[in-house]
Chain A
Amino acid sequence: MGKRMDFRKRLASAAMVAFVGLSGPVHAEQVTLTFANWATAEGATRDGMEKVISAFEAENPDIKIESESIAFAEMARQLVLRLRSGNPPDIAQVAGNDTFALALTKGLEPLQGYADAEFLGTLTPGAYEPLMMGEDLIAFPWNQAPAGLWYNKKLMADAGLDPENPPKTIDELNSAMAAIKEANPQVIVLGIDTTNRAFALQSNWPWIRAFGADPVAEGGAEGDEMQAYLGWLRDISEKGYVDPGRKIGEFRPLFAQDQVAFLWDQVLVQGVIQSTNGMSAEEFNQNYGVIPMPTGPGGKGYSFDGGHQLVMFGDSEHKEAAWKFMEYLGTNEAAIRTYTIETNRSIPPVKSIEDPAVAELLDTPVIETFKNDIIPTISPMPFGPEFAEYATVIMAGIQEAVTSDRPVADIAAEIQNQIGN
């Protein structure tokens, strides 16, 4: 009997030690953050994102990240519905108009209380300013992914063009496209997204602006400048320079196989090309280049930033921990290397990198062109509650211009009628 009691006491003590040892100091204080993102939903970025999350958790054992994989196209819908039902995540990866649409719901936590002026001073100029809504910083700039005009040097040379002297104006681009089409009728001369979705309007917006048009300004949709842009698209479509209806991502493998001469796309193209055709960085630079958008009739060329942001939700019960994770994703150099540069092939929002190995990864002709020549040309987008409507209407008009013979003036008037004044 005595032995049995002794055994029970020892068993109880061991259980107590195990309970305290395993769940005491760590589990009592550990917080779990829900992180809605598409990085872990896509095969190309899943591993990199998971590595960064693991590294963060190892450095911060008091914070556990519960990653919620949501497809890119579903993100806005899911977040809005979850906000409506009072069940938003703590943090979410967002982009484009979705960031601003979410901010309009007043469901986001303003970030200026976490990112003070000194911290914001460490970010690249222009990285966070577009994310200010009034006094509020509505999102944290995780990475930048502006667009430039990529060109295939071999196809240019085959057409008798100088690959080291790519077009600087849209007139020069027209001439170059004509020469390439004549020399190689099978290639897609210009890869440009003409699908009907919000991203396509983001992609087309700099071109629209290069023609001097502003379709959401009063009377702007049926103005001469917008008609000039639609007319240009009609012209290059009739000449067979563009392949309508392809999403921008569908041009990339073709660009890697010398099937596309010019490609209006984001900074990630180099990574996609190298992973598609196995080129080294040196070979890539010998075969491809990127320039800012050729200047249009308006005298300027523009770009757009298709980068990703991080938002924190006002309902989060662990805002300090959430900010810690957001800051880590955006500014920790190991995270920048693993995810932003090597996985997402984008540009980090920080001014300077201390680790020479990471800095070297950013010291490339392509990144230099983007940083010095393209990012300064980024044009503000008409983001807001009407952007989705603008996108549907304007892209439907662009599609009609590219694929039908309806008079351009009628298409422009139709866009104006749909948008209203």
Chain B
Amino acid sequence: MLSLSKPFLHWMVLPTLLVLLAIIGYPVVSTVYLSFFGYNLLDFTPPEYLGLGNFKDMANDRIFWISLKNTLYYTGGTVLVSMLIGTAVALLLENLKGPVWSCVRAFVVSPWAVPFVVVAFLFRFMYMQNGGIVNDILLDLGVITNPVSWLNRADISLGAIIVANIWATTPFFFLLVSSALSGIPDAVLESARVDRAGLWSTIFHIKLPFLRNPLVVGSLLMVISNFNDFAKVWVMTQGGPGYATTTLVVYVYRMAFERFEIGYASALGLIWLLLLLLVSVFYIRLLWNRQND
């Protein structure tokens, strides 16, 4: 009888490891390698070794710092607000049964089914200064007196994109929290009722602790997803006006595929990867500590 502890069976994962090395390891190693070189795709002379030159340039690159700050705002704002809204809506709809509420649930989830590029185009047209529905509604309500150029004012454009992103991301947290809520054992909720726990007490002391792990995992996924979100920003503003909505991924794209500065783009990508690794480690430790409590 073969046992899984047999050493030769361990070798059977080798093909999988080789495939993973080829499709994940090679690009990462290649990016790290290229980040130490001055390498422009238009220049067919061999790449020039710069040591830490690209990283020194990055430290003095105002656009890099702006794009990093914008990325943090974009990711943090989106994840935090959509998590709060998604959780609140899930708690509100939790005990509402019947076909009408099923339809409401489907309606709440529907933005998740819309492709990101379509979301971006929808909001781009909705935000238009001339003929955009957002301005029309706000003008009719008397909230504003003149149409606002939502995506073309440096002070509000990032916020406008974050709103669009929250609209697209909230259903994820709604689904996650709804499924987590349905997993809370009835016995626990019944005990709370027997103990005459009130609504808020039940939410804060019974339900939210059960939601913690799913929310930690979900927010980690969304942090990574939004950190890497290119489509919405590119379609809505292409990083403008000025650099007001330029995020790291947009900046890397411009460097790599408009200026063909692959060396500098690789250095940016390496920092980006390290930041995401830091975030992931933080989240994993959070989960680990929770499990050890």
Contact = CB atoms under 8 A, between A and B. Distances in A.
Interface of A: 77, 80-81, 84, 101, 104-107, 186, 188, 195-198, 243-245, 254, 259, 385, 388-389, 391-392, 395-397, 399-400, 402-404, 406, 418
B154 A400 contact: yes
10 contacts: A77-B257, A101-B260, A105-B42, A107-B44, A243-B130, A245-B241, A259-B130, A388-B258, A400-B242, A403-B149
A243 B129 contact: yes
A45 B291 CA distance: 61
Nearest to B243: A396
A196 B151 contact: no
Interface of B is mostly: loop
B241 A105 contact: no
Contacts of A245: 149, 151-152, 237, 240-241
Nearest to B254: A392
A420 to B, nearest CB: 12
B242 A106 contact: no
Nearest to A107: B44
A403 B260 contact: no
Interface residues of B, number: 28
A392 B63 CA distance: 11
B44 A403 contact: no
B149 A244 contact: yes
A188 B128 CA distance: 13
A16 to B, nearest CB: 48
Interface string B22-51: 000000000000000000111110000000
A244 B238 CA distance: 13
A392 B258 contact: yes
Nearest to A78: B257
Contacts of B260: 80, 101, 388
B43 to A, nearest CB: 8
Contacts of A107: 44
Contacts, number: 82
Which 10 pairs show the lowest CB-CB distances between chains A and B? Answer: A399-B241, A400-B242, A403-B241, A244-B152, A245-B152, A404-B154, A196-B240, A388-B258, A399-B240, A396-B242
A242 B157 CA distance: 18
A197 to B, nearest CB: 7
Contacts of A105: 41-44
Contacts of B155: 404
A130 B157 CA distance: 39
B153 interface: yes
A197 B151 CA distance: 16
A322 to B, nearest CB: 22
A157 B152 CA distance: 31
B239 interface: yes
B42 A104 contact: yes
B285 interface: no
B199 to A, nearest CB: 46
Interface in B132-162: 149, 151-155, 157
B261 to A, nearest CB: 9
Contacts of B151: 245
B237 A404 contact: no
B193 interface: no
B212 interface: no
A267 to B, nearest CB: 25
A101 B151 CA distance: 31
Given A245-B240, A397-B242, A385 B152 contact: no
Question: Which of A243, A259, A392 has its CB near the most chain B CB atoms (within 10 A)?
Answer: A392
Given A105-B42, A392-B254, A395-B240, 13 more contacts: A80-B260, A101-B42, A101-B260, A105-B44, A197-B238, A245-B151, A254-B130, A259-B130, A399-B240, A402-B241, A403-B157, A404-B155, A406-B154
Contacts of B42: 80, 101, 104-105, 385
